Amino acid sequence: MARLPRLYAPQIPQLVQAEFAYPLAAVNDPTPVAQLDQLLEWLRQDVRSSPLALHGWLLLNDRITLLATPADAQSISRLIQGLGRRMAAAMRHGRVFTGRYRSALIEPGQWLLPALIWLESLPVQLHYVDKAENWPWSSAAGHTGLHTRHDALLTDHDDYWQDGNTPFARQARYRERLGHGLTAGQSRRIQQALFGQWVLGEADFLARVASRATRRIAPAPRGRPRKVQPETA
């Protein structure tokens, strides 16, 4: 089966995940601090020179996960490819990623903050840390106000800004959201959109974005089209 073209629509955020062909460390090994720090530095450099707004980011032993609004259809591809080339030259020989990165378009207002929470909660879900903001290689600590070391990486989305009138109010509100987490249904929809590489949003949003997207935005109905029976006199 031919693979689908990349899905893109102007000014629509994307949730992106690229998995490493070979993890930086095994599950029971010590955290690969030096490699994660190096990967973070490369991400910082490449984001600075890329035409995209990065709203959330996460580096784990086995993947890179981003939430960003690209300025054009190639911005994210160039960013992931650039990181892959750096890793191939300095960390890994041969294939860096398991395959193409996965991505989903995310509806602002409805699904952006849940997608951000899903991304930043992965270290907890995968048992790296007990609290999302304790993982040093993600945007969670900045969004919750724990520290601002990596703030230069981020361009906070309007959905985050509208969550409070001051930075302290926004951080407090986001800490609550992150602490409460997502429902099982929310997590399932995010994962289905990401791994299926579709649009995550409600019906009105899907209708609006369909005409602007680079390809179809949802799976085609299964089976053959139903035949229309001719009318009888």
Task: Give mean pLDDT, residues 169-192.
Answer: 95
Task: Answer yes or no: are the C-beta atoms of 44 and 153 closer than 8 Å.
Answer: yes
Task: Give mean pLDDT, residues 170-196.
Answer: 95
Model pLDDT for residues 149-179, shown as the tens digit of each residue? 767 889 999 999 999 999 999 999 999 999 9
**Residue 82 neighbours by CB under 8 Å, 6+ apart:** 42, 46
> Does residue 230 have a pLDDT over 60?
no
Whole-model pTM: value is: 0.88
Helix axes 75-90, 33-48, angle to 10 degrees: 140
**C-alpha span between 76 and 52 (Å, rounded):** 8
- Supply φ then ψ for residue 189, to 5 degrees: -65, -40
Model pLDDT for residues 84-104, shown as the tens digit of each residue? 999 999 986 678 999 899 999
E strands, the chain, in order:
14-19, 52-60, 63-70, 102-106, 199-200
Confidence of residue 226 (pLDDT cuts 50, 70, 90): low
Task: Give mean pLDDT, residues 221-231.
Answer: 52
Return the CATH class of domain 14-210: alpha beta
What pLDDT, on a 0 to 100 scale, did the predictor assign at position 233?
A: 41
